[in-house]
């Protein structure tokens, strides 16, 4: 049974909705119904949202499998916190104008680290 991963899934879902709202608000501001209309701010909002949509699902799936395979709660929390912090840092750093590059880089590094550690943990636990 999953007891820890759903906490991080819920928090990242809240972040995802917040990023979705930013896209909607930017669309309204720029009067863009479909696509990016060539607006740099619209492109940035779309890509910030899309980046979360691209990385969060695989990471959460891997973390859930680690938990389901019986890994300790500490490992699951560390993976979840790395992912959550990574997604928050990336969204904040990338979403700003001008970008805060160090936050964007730190966010991606934490996200990649969470994915890689979860992948390796799954392999170890499965073998």
Interval 89-110: pLDDT, tens: 999 999 998 999 999 999 999 9
Confidence of residue 2 (pLDDT cuts 50, 70, 90): very high
Domain boundaries defined on the chain? 5-126
Of 65, 99, 59, nearest in space to 83 by CA: 59
Residue 57, pLDDT score = 98
Asked if 44 and 95 touch (Cβ cutoff 8 Å), the reply is yes
pLDDT tens-digit map of 9-27? 999 999 999 999 999 999 9
1 or 46, which is more confident: 46
In this prediction, residue 79 carries a pLDDT of: 98
The second-level CATH assignment, the architecture, of 5-126 is Up-down Bundle (1.20)
């Amino acid at each position: 049974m999953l007891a820890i991963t759903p906490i991080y899934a819920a928090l990242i879902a809240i972040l995802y909705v917040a990023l979705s709202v930013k896209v909607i608000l930017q669309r309204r501001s720029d009067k863009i119904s479909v696509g990016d209309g060539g607006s740099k701010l619209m492109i940035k909002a779309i890509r910030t949202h899309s980046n979360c949509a691209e990385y969060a699902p695989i990471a959460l799936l891997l973390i859930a499998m680690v938990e389901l395979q019986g890994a300790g709660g500490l490992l699951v929390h560390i993976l979840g916190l790395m992912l959550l912090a990574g997604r928050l840092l990336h969204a904040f750093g990338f979403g700003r104008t001008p970008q805060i590059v160090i936050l964007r880089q730190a966010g991606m590094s934490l996200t990649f680290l969470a994915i890689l550690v979860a992948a390796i943990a799954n392999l170890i636990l499965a073998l």
